[in-house]
Amino acid sequence: MEGRIPLLGERFPEIEVKTTHGVKKLPDDFKGKWFILFSHPADFTPVCTTEFVAFQKRYDQFKELNTELIGLSIDQVFSHIKWIEWIKDKLNVEIKFPIIADDTGEVSKQLGLIHPGKGTNTVRAVFIVDPEGIIRAILYYPQELGRNMDEILRMIKGFQVSDREGVAIPANWPENELIKDEVIIPPAADIKTAEERLKQYDCFDWWFCHKKV
C-alpha cells in the first residue's frame, strides 16, 4: 500500500532503484549482508552533509560488521554526484557508498518517507535490514536533528550478538549501568528452568539473569 511505513519483521519491499553506483535491486543486491538504508531531506544542506561525512567516517566499521550503507533523497543523480564532489573537494571526505536518486518520489512513497508537513521532502529515516532481507529496526528523525551514527553501529553489533547468542541486549550496551558489557538471558518459561537459571548464571532474580559473551 502506497505510503504505509513497512513494519518490523516484514521483508524489505522489492524495489529497483537508480543510484550513484548504477541500478540496484533491493533487497536482493545485499543478500547475505546487513544493510542500512537512510533517507535525507536534500543534497547541499548542512545537517545532511554532516551526516554523510559521519557515515563515511564509520564506513569501514560498518563493513567489518558485514553491513553496507545506501543513502536516499528525492534529488536527481546529477545533484548527488555534484554534492559528493563538493564534499570531497571542500571537506576532503570521499563518499564511497551509493545514494539513491528518488527524483520521482516513488520509492519514498512506497517506504512512507515523505514528511507530511514539508512538501515533498523526505524525513531522516533509517531502515536496518538483515541478511535475509527482513527489516529489523526503523528510526525516524525530524529535519532539524541529525542522527547519531555510533548508535546505529551499536544497533548492528547488538542485533548480531542477539542473533548469534539468543540473548537480549540491555540499555546503553556495552556500557550498561547494571551489567556493563554483559547480555541478558531470555526469561524462564517454567519453574524448573527458573530454578536452574539461578545456578547457571549471575542473576538479580530468576527473571533477570545475565552473562558475558
Q: Which residues are catalytic?
A: 48
State the cell numbers at 113. 518517507
The kind and range of the H/E element at 106 are: helix 106-111
- Residue 7 sits at φ, ψ, to 5 deg, of -100, 155
Cell 553496507 belongs to: 68
Phi-psi region of 27 (alpha: psi -120 to 50; beta: other; left: phi over 0): alpha
Secondary structure letter of residue 159 according to DSSP? H
For residue 124, which amino acid is it?
R
Query: Angle of helix 149-165 relative to helix 46-57, nearest 10 degrees?
Result: 40
Task: Report how far Cα 85 is from the mean position of its chain's Cα atoms.
Answer: 25
Is the separation of the CB atoms in 139 and 123 below 8 Å? no
